[in-house]
Structure 1
């Protein structure tokens, strides 16, 4: 295992550095590292690491969401208003619609299979988007207009919305049917997540004010509470649940509102944690990529992905029609809402594991979406934000 960990970090960082020097996103190098080291090429990653790959990716996701919450300016979202709410579900719904239209024609899927494929494809990647929006907020680009705040909040809720839809469609495929309560649970889980996160953040701010401990200890406490929230959500068998990922992000928001100076210091700590988490996340995502699947579906899957992206960007455009953002800011938001990686890697293989006829197709589309959109989306964000957004 130690050899595998060494190879993951050394090769991941080296190839990431090389890509950065070539003016490409470093995550491309990390994805290539995962493909090369993964079980489908040289098989140099210990099976025990691959067995807990989903948990390790979830830890990385927790780190970036907490970091996002610590830097999220809610007042900026209030200025935007209605578009912020629409961004949570309308782009993903438009992308799902594209899958209904083109999936059966291009890949021969049934409508329910197209729905499952669309739910896997429709999520935006917090792993790509969140650190870049945090960077924009740190540098002051688009902050006054609320652009990074809008994308941050929308991307987080977008994932919850898509995962709930995916679970619903899987239940339908298994013959369990679907109830109204499963759709009612979407807004309730989001709202409960916000309330729980703000409450925990508020209680932590009081505790940190009265009990003086090192910032590193505070980070450990927040991480442990975040892990407990995820474990609690997974263990709940009730019809109504809460979103642990939303709660985790709003812990940071609650801390920021009540202990601004502490939130700033903790954000720096999380920034350092992300250096290691980013490498681990994208190398493990790369390790899940099976090159054989890509060659089987080929060009049709690529066309389907780009068609879905066009519909997603159209959805973002519709969200921003009556907003105060100018044309350049709207264009940036549309591009920033396209990368995919984390959710696709997490749930893309589930239909195959459940024995669905569309399992191979879903996994292939998910993998291709990661390979195509993560680098292109990250590159589009990194190369355009200084030209399209105003610096405060």
Structure 2
């Protein structure tokens, strides 16, 4: 296991540096390293590591979302208002609609199967987006109108909404009843996630004030609390978003003590250097190139058409706002990348024995290969001009 982790980190560093020298996003190199080392090519990584891949990816997400929270001014997010709320679900709804309308014709599947595929595909990737929005915040691009903040918040809630829809559609496909309470749980999860995050952040701030811990110990305390929140999300009767709560904890600390938040943000940035490599290599290991090669033009066309639907959804979120056309275009570009959720749930329909399982996984794999590097590339290339 330790040998596998060492190989992953070493290959991740080498391939990410190679990608940078070719002037493409580092994550492309990391994804490629994951594909190469994974079970579908060289099969070097220990099965023990792959068996805890989900937990390792979750740790990486906790680190980057905490770092995002520590740089997030909640007042700026409040100023954005309605668009931030709409970005949490409207683009996903538009994209799922695109799959429902077009996938039966292009991929020869049923409407319900198209809805399942759309739910897998409609989630945006916080792992790709959040680090880039943090970079924009640090450099001061788009911060006056809260553009990076609303994109980060939307990306974290977007996943909750999509996973609830995915669970509902797969339940229909297997003949189970779908309760309206599961949909009512979405706003409850968002509100309770923010509330729990604020309370936890206030308590942590008081603990840090009383105990005078070193910054390294504060980081350990925050990570421990985050892991407990993830556990509580699984055990809680009341639905709440642990990832949103984790980001809100950081935002609350920023509101209460900007100096401590700034120092902790630097610490989490250092942690992210290693966590990022593990995250994208593990995403890469889930990619089966054989599936992608068999998909053909129809699957690629479907992904691109759905992205057009998604972009229209993003644009609708900003109707009658102060954002200029360039800023709206940047928000559309920022909502392109897909990776983490597709890698996590793309295999589930196949494991459930659904007829659409193989094609859903194929499209999910292709989407990661296409949108994660392209989205990251266009964000990096356009933010200075568009913001």
Q: Give the TM-score taking structure 1 as reference length.
A: 0.97
Whole-angstrom CA distance in 2 between matches of 1:218 and 1:360: 45
Deviation of residue 24 (structure 1)?
0.3
> 1:226 and 1:87 mapped to 2: Cα distance?
24
3-state secondary structure, aligned to 1:200 = helix
- Between stretches 22-31 and 252-261, larger displacement belongs to 252-261
Residue 2 (structure 1) shift: 2.4
Q: Show the counterpart of 2:126.
A: 126
Residues 246-325 of structure 1: pairs in structure 2 closer than 5 A: 246-325=244-323
| 2:179 equivalent to 1:179 | yes
* Cα distance in structure 1, aligned partners of 2:164 and 2:215: 35
1:388 is the counterpart of 2:370: no
Quote the offset at 1:254 in angstroms.
1.2
Distance 1:207 1:134 in 2: 27
Answer whether contact 1:219 1:269 (CA < 8 A) is retained. yes
Question: What residue is the counterpart of 2:96 in the other structure?
Answer: 96
Unaligned residue ranges in structure 2 (runs of 5+): none
Deviation at residue 150 of structure 1 after TM alignment: 1.2
Contact 1:340 1:373 in 2 (8 A): yes
CA distance in 2, matches of 1:116, 1:340: 16
Instruction: Give 1:369 shift.
Output: 0.6
How far off is 1:235 after superposition?
2.7
How far is the alpha carbon of 1:169 from its aligned partner? Answer: 1.3
Report the equivalent of 2:336.
338
Q: Which stretch of the first structure deviates more once superposed, 376-385 or 287-296?
A: 287-296
How far, CA to CA, are the matches of 1:362 and 1:258 in structure 2?
45
| Structure 1 residue aligned with 2:164 | 164
What residue in structure 2 maps to residue 372 of structure 1? 370
Post-superposition offset of 1:187:
0.4
Q: Does 1:19 align with 2:19?
A: yes
SS at match of 2:30: helix
- Which residue in the other structure is 2:66 paired with? 66
Structure 2 distance, partners of 1:304, 1:73, is: 38
Task: Tell me how far 1:356 sits from its aligned partner.
Answer: 1.1
Partner of 2:139: 139
Which deviates the most, 197-206 or 253-262? 253-262
1:193-204 to 2 correspondences below 5 Å: 193-204=193-204
CA distance in 1, matches of 2:94, 2:12: 35
The runs of 4+ residues in structure 1 deviating greater than 4 Å are: none
Contact 1:80 1:324 in 2 (8 A): no
CA distance in structure 2 between the partners assigned to 1:298 and 1:58 by the alignment: 32
- Provide the C-alpha distance between the structure 2 equivalents of 1:287 and 1:132, rounded to a whole number of angstroms: 23
Match of 1:357 in 2: 355
Separation in structure 2 between the aligned mates of residue 63 and residue 171 of structure 1, nearest angstrom: 32
Q: Distance in 1 between matches of 2:111 and 2:235?
A: 31
Deviations 1:76-105 (A, max 9, x none): 222222111111111000000000011111
| TM-superposed deviation, 1:5 | 1.4
Taking structure 2 as the reference length, the TM-score comes to 0.98
1:213 and 2:229 matched: no
Q: 1:244 aligned to 2:242? A: yes
Post-superposition shift, 1:142? 0.7
Answer yes or no: is the 8 Å Cα contact 1:76–1:145 preserved in 2.
Answer: yes
**Using the alignment, how far apart are the partners of 1:52 and 1:95 within structure 2?**
31
Query: 1:6 and 1:256 mapped to 2: Cα distance?
Result: 35
Q: What secondary structure is seen at the aligned counterpart in 2 of 1:324? A: coil
Give the number of equivalent residue pairs: 387
Query: 1:387, CA displacement in angstroms?
Result: 1.2
Other-structure match for 2:83: 83
Asked whether the 8 Å contact 2:74–2:255 carries over to 1, the reply is no
Q: Deviations over 1:291-313 (max 9, x none)?
A: 11112222111111001100111
| SS of aligned partner of 1:298 | helix
